[in-house]
Amino acid sequence: MTTVLLYALIYLAVLVFAVGCVIRAVQYARMPIHLRWELYPVPHEEARRVEHGGSYFEEVDWWEKPSHFNLAGEIGVMVPEMLFLKGLWEYNRKLWSRSFPFHFGLYLLIGCTALLVPATLVSLVQPTWMAGSLAAAWLGLCKALGLVGSVLVILGSLGLLSRRLTDEDMKNYTTPGDIFNLLFFIVTCILLLAGYLLSDQQFPGMLAFTQGLLTFSPSVQVPGLLAAGMICAALLAAYIPYTHMSHFIAKYFTYHSVRWDDRVNVRGGELAKKLAEYLTYRPTWSAPHMGADGTKTWADVAMANPAMETKKK
């Protein structure tokens, strides 16, 4: 019964996590297209320009030239940034030495889960497969990723926590919530790691547990320490999308929709249609020069000339 409750909590946490992520992503995606605010270099520019941070504005009559989208350039920036936190490496090496193990540890833990689920599915459909050497290697890899990942997360979190508590530059901006978040990661990973390493022979292993999770089998016995780690991990996963730690979603938008958004507003294009709609909004800013009383549209406000109106008075 306790194991079933644990399964239920895990499913619920995954659901809450997914809903939280979707809500956040949809919220940002549905926002109006803002005025252009890009920052150079923009990596999807032509390769010859990316090197010095140039844009298509460097060409005479740029609007008559074919447009380029250098996907390779964009991927070349995105992958090192996502995997290795290249920006932090470049601009804040001290923090990188703590943040990278933390994030990379999380990736390894995600990788461990991602490998475990298909292995479990295969084992349920074709149990004999599990006797083979490929399966042993597969599960060995899962185990290694899980163990190394947990250790990296613990070390990284401890490093980040000590920096938050001791670095004068960061103390002023650290809230109790920030401390709690890091402690949450540390406690969760310590419980998972200790629970797994100290589990006795009663625990049939992670594969059996995942099989139980997918089949809701109550027969799997999970040791207390490991169960506590799983409960913490489930709660942590459910909590993340509702905090600033959901920056893995935000970062897509800050890069693709702001920093690198150099789309041109072409006459009669899709962008122009959306922008025309925004010009019908009715702002209510109160300063006299705005003339925005809630009845005038954004276009009316933009066409007005407060200086001439003052003159008339």
6-35 residues near other proteins, rule: CB under 8 A: 28, 31-35
Burial of 242 (0-12, 13-18, 19+ CB in 10 A): middle
Structure-token pair, residue 242: 């509702």
User: Is 174 one of the binding residues for other proteins (CB under 8 A)?
Assistant: yes
Q: Is residue 28 exposed (0-12), middle (13-18) or buried (19+ Cβ within 10 Å)?
A: middle
| 3-state secondary structure string across 51-109 | CCCCCHHHCCCHHHCCCCCCHHHHHHHHHHHHHHCHHHHHHCHHHHHHHHHHHHHHHHH
Stretch that binds other proteins, among 119-127, 136-144, 162-170, 199-207 (CB under 8 A): 162-170
Closest approach of other proteins to the CB of residue 196, in Å: 30
> For other proteins, which stretch binds (CB under 8 A), given 2-10, 15-23, 195-203, 302-310?
302-310
Cis peptide, bond prior to residue 127, ω within 30 of zero: no
The reply to whether 70 sits near other proteins by the rule CB under 8 A is no
Residue 65 as a binder of other proteins (CB under 8 A): the answer is no
Q: Does 162 bind other proteins (CB under 8 A)?
A: no
Stretch that binds other proteins, among 55-63, 126-134, 188-196, 223-231 (CB under 8 A): 55-63
161 scored as a contact of other proteins (CB under 8 A): no
User: Contacting other proteins (CB under 8 A), which of 133, 176, 200, 219?
Assistant: 176
Q: Which is nearer to other proteins, 63 or 128 (CB)?
A: 63
Asked if 143 touches other proteins (CB under 8 A), the answer is no
Q: What number of CA atoms fall less than 13 Å from residue 245's CA on the CB side?
A: 21
| Token pair for 214 | 């997918």
Exactly one of 177, 201, 219, 312 binds other proteins (CB under 8 A); that residue is: 177
CA distances from 57 to 28, 33, 37, 77, 271 (A): 28, 21, 15, 21, 19
From residue 229 to residue 258, the character string flagging contacts with other proteins as x (rule: CB under 8 A) and all else as - is --------------xx-xx--xx-xxx-xx
Site for other proteins in 81-110 (CB under 8 A): 81, 85, 87-88, 90-92, 95, 99
Contact pick of 193, 207, 222, 301 for other proteins (by CB under 8 A): 301
Cα distance between residue 30 and residue 28, in whole Å:
5
